[in-house]
A and B are shown apart, each in its own frame.
Chain A
Amino acid sequence: MSLLELNDVKVHFPIKKGLFVDRTVGYVYAVDGISLKVEAGQTYGLVGESGCGKTTLGRAVLRLVDITSGEVVLDGTDLASLPDKDMRTMRRRLQMVFQDPLGSLNPRQNIESILSEGMAAHGIGANQEERREKIRAILAKVGLPSNALSRYPHEFSGGQRQRIGIARALVLEPDVIICDEPVSALDVSIQAQVVNLLDELQEELGLTYVVIAHDLAVVRHISDVIGVMYLGSLVEEAPSDDLYAAPKHPYTKALMSAVPIPDPTVEEARERILLTGDLPSPANPPSGCRFHTRCPWAQPKCKEERPQLREVGEGHRVACHFVEDIESGLLQIGTERAAVVPAARTEQDAVEEAVAKSAGTKAALEAEDAEAMADGDADVTPADARSEAEAESETESGPAASDADEAPASDADETSASDADEAPASGADETPESAAPAETAPAETDPAETTPAETDSTESAKDSSARGA
């Protein structure tokens, strides 16, 4: 059994309005149905952009925010339903390291007092002398001098303060440590020191971490399993190396390709998917798939039905209706949602991209009501864009070429995916019928697919011309 298990955890914050009587006028769906398992001795990385709910989820595990529904099971005990008093004793086993080390250390307490407070509260160590011994041992482990005991937080540098934060978690001998952006406030060279420290401590003490961070490179470095969050839910979960080698969810693909790599040669040679628009508000999340408003592959179905996480490979779960179709190249990227920056950038590419982007931003903003679910027919864009005929043809040829690049890699994934329950046999990849997932209607095959798309695009063309007028 997993050490920590989350079952359909939801955290909704009410939005209050009213002068005398608080009326609840809506909810912010910060965390909206997350299930995951953290194995003992492993590191689970949670990544996502700001506002996706990753911090709220971390705090919900510790019950620092109220859980609306769902279960948080630590070692067989459901924390969500635990009385406050029992929860307090339980917190010894769940500790947190915060992002801002200065903000989370009391400036008027010295290090000994900061570290021994929790120990005294949980009855660790018979007397202060015993606790001090233990604190000394822990301080040595995290690489702080023992004379740190009588000093105050402001006397330390940022990296050292983060070490104090880690020591404070460690003195209680927790089972799970939740690290919320443990290194993002630190300089690059110090960041590496703290990351290495976390690694070493895990090896030595067999700790289990949940690492919450927005820096994908850091998360990759320390995690065994990574979950990608978008707008309150998990969109993809996979072992770290698999996720980075072959991201399957459109959002993960875009996220990975957005991370700059410190090597100009690699940087020039790789293809990037540029998402347009911003994260929608979690108070008013889009219907169906949360990502459909920005997804370059979005289909009409995505707007209506919310995809569940499903297994597509060993330990690889994705919440997308069309993973297989995207992998096999059946679904083409739609240019009005994102610009694909191909490997070798040319002058013309830049022009095409700028045009596609400016059109795309508009489309994305109104995607909520716009019917622009087309499969990337460039016909959608010109109505409100200043795109010329040649730019349009560029737009069409760009993504097509890029898909060809992706093809060989995806073939291999398809084979592994075929083990999963819903996926068809890998040999049948060429035929669109079998490539479609089991739950999709047969009408989703190629010819049928284009028809609704075309009607959609004409509608949206009408839409946009109406806007123009």
Chain B
Amino acid sequence: MSELESTVGRSSVPGPRTEDDVFLSVRDLRIHFDTDDGLVKSVDGISFDVRRGRTLGIVGESGSGKSVTSLGIMGLHRSRRARITGEVWLDSDELIAASEDFVRRQRGRKMAMIFQDPLSALHPYYTVGAQITEAYRVHHPVSKAVAKARAIDMLDRVGIPEPHKRYAGYPHEFSGGMRQRAMIAMALVNNPELLIADEPTTALDVTVQAQILDLIRDLQKEFGSAVIVITHDLGVVAEMADDLLVMYAGRCVERGTAEQVFESPQHPYTWGLLGSMPRIDRAQTERLVPVRGTPPSLINVPDGCPFHPRCPYADIPEDNVTRTVRPELRETVGSGHFTACHLPQEERTRIWTEEVEPKL
């Protein structure tokens, strides 16, 4: 099963592909945690590629494994309890099997992360400037003065006014949006080629969110980095992402370019997400179309398709297959568009165009 999925993953890169084009390649990544209650399969076989200059959006509800995936890529799971298998190729280096020291040297330099809550990601005891300087000096053998100039330059770059003054400020003296900017400055100080933004704007107000998203996009253009945006907000990914990966219960249920997924979504869960979100650009509809039930526990993931207890179409495929066989990620209409669903292709297209889309 795992081999199958990983081969599918390998051939899955949309469009032409050269070796140096793909910067990050994740192959059949599994991250399980041993707990007293049982084995939590947070991430259970996930594969994707991110190319330089492109943005991948990972969408899913809480507990779908999206953050665990990102921490896994960064190598931040190395506790005794985490069992990690699979491959993470970062620019021709494999990270899962690599030494901890090697991963540490990559982290912050080649790949960096923006967290959801900047107040807990920044150290309250040190000034913002000191923290950015430290991040720079860890990877560059330069004097403090040079690092300071670099940090001030970064603060200026992310739009913090009076960076000379703010360099000496503490995180609590910054507003929410400014803190998030400071953290972005810290993440970008080493010009990382891969930037992972884990719910970068969830804690922020919409007007500040717009500023931050714009900033990330501009910086990506400037540095040509590969970006992964992890969020539960479909609006944010629509704005940011070139490619999209929808996660459910630790697995990928749908993957494709943003246009493919938004215009002809193939998986019933993606339909559910789209139907659940009220949109401000459409006239008030009668009712939202929510997904019934609640997300499953990752200790007891349902057999077969993990979505079947909540899926309104689970009874359409014959022989009870949705309850017994786990669907594999298969290419559907349009190249590079993958779905893990037992529904026959024609049936899915019919349901989407006739039943789901008109109600959105």
What is the CB-to-nearest-CB distance from A365 to chain B, in angstroms, rounded to a whole number? 5
Can you spell out 5 A-B residue pairs with CB atoms less than 8 angstroms apart? A188-B232, A192-B278, A265-B259, A350-B217, A365-B162
Q: Which of the residues A192, A221, A259, A260 comes within 8 Å of B284, measured between beta carbons?
A: A221
Q: Is the CB of A261 within 8 A of B156?
A: no
Q: Is the CB of B208 within 8 A of A278?
A: yes
Interface residues of B in 278-304 (CB under 8 A from A): 278-281, 283-285, 287-292, 294-295
Count class of interface residues, chain A:
35 or more
**What is the 8 Å Cβ interface bit string for chain A, positions 179-208, against chain B (1 contact, 0 not)?**
000000001111111011001000000000
Q: Which of the residues A192, A214, A261, A270 comes within 8 Å of B288, measured between beta carbons?
A: A192
The stretch from B81-89, B269-277, B316-324 touching chain A is B269-277
Q: Is the CB of B288 within 8 A of A49?
A: no
Q: Is the CB of B206 within 8 A of A214?
A: yes
Q: Given A264-B262, A278-B208, A361-B159, A259 and B235 touching (CB < 8 A)?
A: yes
Residue of A nearest to B240 (CB): A260
CA distance A350 to B238 in the complex (A): 18
Q: Is the CB of A353 within 8 A of B284?
A: no
Instruction: Tell me, yes or no, whether B239 is within 8 Å of chain A by CB.
Output: yes
Q: Given A192-B276, A192-B290, A255-B207, A341 and B232 touching (CB < 8 A)?
A: no
Instruction: Tell me, yes or no, whether B11 is within 8 Å of chain A by CB.
Output: no
Residue of A nearest to B233 (CB): A260
Instruction: Tell me, yes or no, whether A343 is within 8 Å of chain B by CB.
Output: no
In the complex, chain A residues whose CB is within 8 Å of the CB of B273: 188-189
Instruction: Tell me, yes or no, whether A68 is within 8 Å of chain B by CB.
Output: no
User: Closest 10 interchain pairs by CB?
Assistant: A260-B235, A192-B290, A262-B234, A192-B276, A221-B278, A49-B205, A189-B291, A258-B210, A192-B288, A217-B278
Q: Given A189-B291, A195-B288, A262-B262, A274 and B210 touching (CB < 8 A)?
A: yes
Instruction: Tell me, yes or no, whether B236 is within 8 Å of chain A by CB.
Output: yes
In the complex, chain B residues whose CB is within 8 Å of the CB of A259: 206, 235, 280
Q: Is the CB of A357 within 8 A of B287?
A: no
CA distance A131 to B328 in the complex (A): 52
Q: Is the CB of B205 within 8 A of A347?
A: no
Q: Given A187-B62, A260-B236, A192 and B275 touching (CB < 8 A)?
A: yes
Most chain B CB within 10 A, of A159, A195, A260, A267, is at: A260
Residue of A nearest to B63 (CB): A187
Instruction: Tell me, yes or no, whether A220 is within 8 Å of chain B by CB.
Output: yes
Q: Given A191-B276, A266-B281, A353 and B288 touching (CB < 8 A)?
A: no
Q: Is the CB of B209 within 8 A of A258?
A: yes
In the complex, chain B residues whose CB is within 8 Å of the CB of A361: 159-161
In the complex, chain A residues whose CB is within 8 Å of the CB of B90: none
**What is the 8 Å Cβ interface bit string for chain A, positions 355-395, against chain B (1 contact, 0 not)?**
00110011001000000000000000000000000000000
In the complex, chain A residues whose CB is within 8 Å of the CB of B237: 262
CA distance A216 to B174 in the complex (A): 26
What is the CB-to-nearest-CB distance from A154 to chain B, in angstroms, rounded to a whole number? 15
CA distance A244 to B280 in the complex (A): 7
Residue of B nearest to A200 (CB): B287
In the complex, chain A residues whose CB is within 8 Å of the CB of B74: none
In the complex, chain B residues whose CB is within 8 Å of the CB of A189: 61, 272-273, 276, 290-291, 295
Q: Is the CB of A350 within 8 A of B295?
A: no
Q: Is the CB of A260 within 8 A of B238?
A: yes
CA distance A267 to B176 in the complex (A): 25
Residue of B nearest to A365 (CB): B161
CA distance A192 to B284 in the complex (A): 14
Instruction: Tell me, yes or no, whether A50 is within 8 Å of chain B by CB.
Output: yes
What is the CB-to-nearest-CB distance from B108 to chain A, in angstroms, rounded to a whole number? 25
Instruction: Tell me, yes or no, whether A328 is within 8 Å of chain B by CB.
Output: no
Residue of B nearest to A224 (CB): B284
Q: Given A193-B290, A221-B284, A240-B284, A347 and B221 touching (CB < 8 A)?
A: yes
Instruction: Tell me, yes or no, whether B211 is within 8 Å of chain A by CB.
Output: yes
* Chain B residues near A (Cβ < 8 Å): 61-62, 156, 159-162, 175-178, 205-211, 213-214, 217-218, 221, 232-239, 258-259, 262-263, 272-281, 283-285, 287-292, 294-295
Tell me how many residue pairs across A and B have CB atoms closer than 8 Å: 157
Most chain B CB within 10 A, of A199, A218, A259, A274, is at: A259
In the complex, chain B residues whose CB is within 8 Å of the CB of A49: 205-208
* Chain A residues near B (Cβ < 8 Å): 49-50, 157, 159, 187-193, 195-196, 199, 214, 216-218, 220-221, 240-241, 244, 254-267, 270, 272, 274-276, 278-279, 339, 341, 347, 350, 353-354, 357-358, 361-362, 365
Most chain A CB within 10 A, of B234, B259, B263, B279, is at: B279
Most chain B CB within 10 A, of A218, A262, A265, is at: A262
What is the CB-to-nearest-CB distance from A16 to chain B, in angstroms, rounded to a whole number? 20
Q: Is the CB of A278 within 8 A of B177?
A: yes
Q: Is the CB of B207 within 8 A of A275?
A: yes
In the complex, chain B residues whose CB is within 8 Å of the CB of A278: 175-178, 208
Q: Is the CB of A188 within 8 A of B61?
A: yes
In the complex, chain A residues whose CB is within 8 Å of the CB of B274: 262
Q: Given A157-B294, A216-B206, A244-B280, A362 and B161 touching (CB < 8 A)?
A: yes
What is the CB-to-nearest-CB distance from B273 to chain A, in angstroms, rounded to a whole number? 6
Q: Which of the residues B159, B217, B238, B292 comes within 8 Å of A358, measured between beta carbons?
A: B159
Q: Given A49-B206, A187-B295, A264-B258, A196 and B290 touching (CB < 8 A)?
A: yes
Q: Which of the residues B210, B235, B284 comes within 8 Å of A261, measured between beta carbons?
A: B235
Q: Which of the residues B177, B232, B289 comes within 8 Å of A192, measured between beta carbons?
A: B289
CA distance A68 to B61 in the complex (A): 42
CA distance A193 to B156 in the complex (A): 44
Q: Given A192-B290, A259-B206, A267-B238, A274 and B211 touching (CB < 8 A)?
A: yes
Q: Given A254-B207, A278-B178, A350-B221, A217 and B61 touching (CB < 8 A)?
A: no
Q: Is the CB of A353 within 8 A of B214?
A: yes
CA distance A261 to B258 in the complex (A): 13
In the complex, chain B residues whose CB is within 8 Å of the CB of A267: 235, 238-239
In the complex, chain B residues whose CB is within 8 Å of the CB of A263: 238, 262, 279, 281
Residue of A nearest to B273 (CB): A188
What is the CB-to-nearest-CB distance from B245 to chain A, in angstroms, rounded to a whole number? 15
Q: Is the CB of B207 within 8 A of A357?
A: no
Q: Given A49-B206, A255-B207, A218 and B278 touching (CB < 8 A)?
A: yes
In the complex, chain A residues whose CB is within 8 Å of the CB of B263: 265
In the complex, chain A residues whose CB is within 8 Å of the CB of B178: 278
In the complex, chain B residues whose CB is within 8 Å of the CB of A266: 238, 281
In the complex, chain A residues whose CB is within 8 Å of the CB of B177: 278
Most chain B CB within 10 A, of A159, A196, A199, A240, is at: A196
Q: Is the CB of A214 within 8 A of B205?
A: yes
In the complex, chain A residues whose CB is within 8 Å of the CB of B159: 357-358, 361
Q: Is the CB of B294 within 8 A of A159?
A: yes
In the complex, chain B residues whose CB is within 8 Å of the CB of A191: 276, 290
Residue of B nearest to A52 (CB): B205
CA distance A341 to B207 in the complex (A): 13
